[in-house]
Chain A
């Protein structure tokens, strides 16, 4: 599938990695709709990106918004499930006077935004793709932490779930011509990474990465284009991590 002329929906696309992916797709000639819950950031999007306010954890709202996008553009060809929030909390924290174990509510809310949202948005989009026989491409943004990362029980579990859904859907939806792949970035030099990690941790990661640097958001965006345009790639979790293993 050529990105040029296609219609793409990028969730969580008003800032950081999502914005880079959305911008890259638009530069490649796609009509790009950016879904984000932050109205202020949406208002500041570049002119070639169309913003839609969306809470990706709310199925009713997502279904209505996706139907609206399809009505406006005729069909949706590309979905990039990027929305998510990096979340770190150790399973056991003996320094926490409020309780040493990982908070269950925070575990659930991390899964809601990082895992349930992928299910919710993909359900809405795939229904539209099937109704219109759109041979679409779905790219789920996973993470290097999907293999299990110390201090990130909820986030790692959510991303492992994203990988499993990716492979499952690639098997189920292939017969409709819909391809589903995931992209697992390593540590990318975005604001969210810098907020989530200390300077010392970032230095440690850089020195342990074979390429000795953090990734760039554009490098992830380039990989998204590859997964969309190569029509024989399906059910893959593509690592974009500079060779880092955790």
Chain B
């Protein structure tokens, strides 16, 4: 799990960083509603200098999907 992304998600969802795992899903996080999704989008766009399409935003319902979307935008999560 990429440290920078984990820290960002921990901050957005107010979760301990240890809980940010790739198999974490929206349904597992009580605070992950549509408003929080907008905060997530803003944070990701600001941090990675990308623009997410509506289809990307709708798709991001798990950490693994967030990672997949970021990688599709050319974000290197391996480093």
Answer whether residue B27 sits at the interface, using C-beta atoms and an 8 A cutoff.
no
Most buried by B among A133, A172, A175, A176: A175
User: A172 contacts which chain B residues (CB < 8 A)?
Assistant: 35, 38
Chain A, Cβ-Cβ closest to B36: A175
Question: Does A47 reach chain B (CB closer than 8 Å)?
Answer: no
**B51 and A176 contact, CB distance less than 8 A:** no
Within 8 A of A (CB), among B1-56: 35, 38-39, 42, 45, 51, 53-54
CB-defined contacts of A195 to chain B, threshold 8 Å: none
* Inter-subunit contact B54/A176 (CB<8 Å): no
User: Is A175 a contact of B54 with CB atoms below 8 Å?
Assistant: no
Mark contacts of A117-135 with chain B using CB atoms, 8 A cut-off: 1 yes-contact digit, 0 otherwise: 0000000000000110100
Besides A175-B35, A175-B39, A176-B38, 5 other CB < 8 A contacts? A131-B53, A172-B38, A175-B38, A175-B42, A176-B42
| Chain B interface mostly | helix
Report B40 CB to chain A, min CB distance, Å.
10
Cβ contacts A to B, 13 pairs, < 8 Å: A130-B54, A131-B53, A131-B54, A133-B45, A133-B51, A172-B35, A172-B38, A175-B35, A175-B38, A175-B39, A175-B42, A176-B38, A176-B42
Bound form: Cα–Cα A133–B41 in Å: 11
Chain A residues within an 8 Å CB radius of B54: 130-131
**Interface size counted on chain B using CB atoms at 8 A:** 8
Using a CB–CB cutoff of 8 Å, the interface residues on chain B facing chain A are 35, 38-39, 42, 45, 51, 53-54
Tally of chain A residues near chain B (CB < 8 A): 6
- With A and B bound together, what is the CA distance between A28 and B13 in angstroms? 43
CB-CB < 8 A to B35: which residues of A? 172, 175
B residues in contact with A131, CB < 8 Å: 53-54
B16 CB to nearest chain A CB (Å): 24
Q: Which A-B residue pairs are the 5 nearest by beta carbons?
A: A175-B38, A175-B42, A175-B39, A131-B54, A172-B35
Docked complex Cα distance between A127 and B53 (Å): 12
Which residues of chain B come closer than 8 Å to A175, judged between CB atoms?
35, 38-39, 42
**Residue in A closest to B53 when the chains form the complex, CB atoms:** A131
Q: Which residues in window 49-97 of A have CB below 8 A to B?
A: none
Complex Cα–Cα for A130 and B35 (A): 14
Docked Cα-Cα span, A66 to B51, in Å, equals: 22
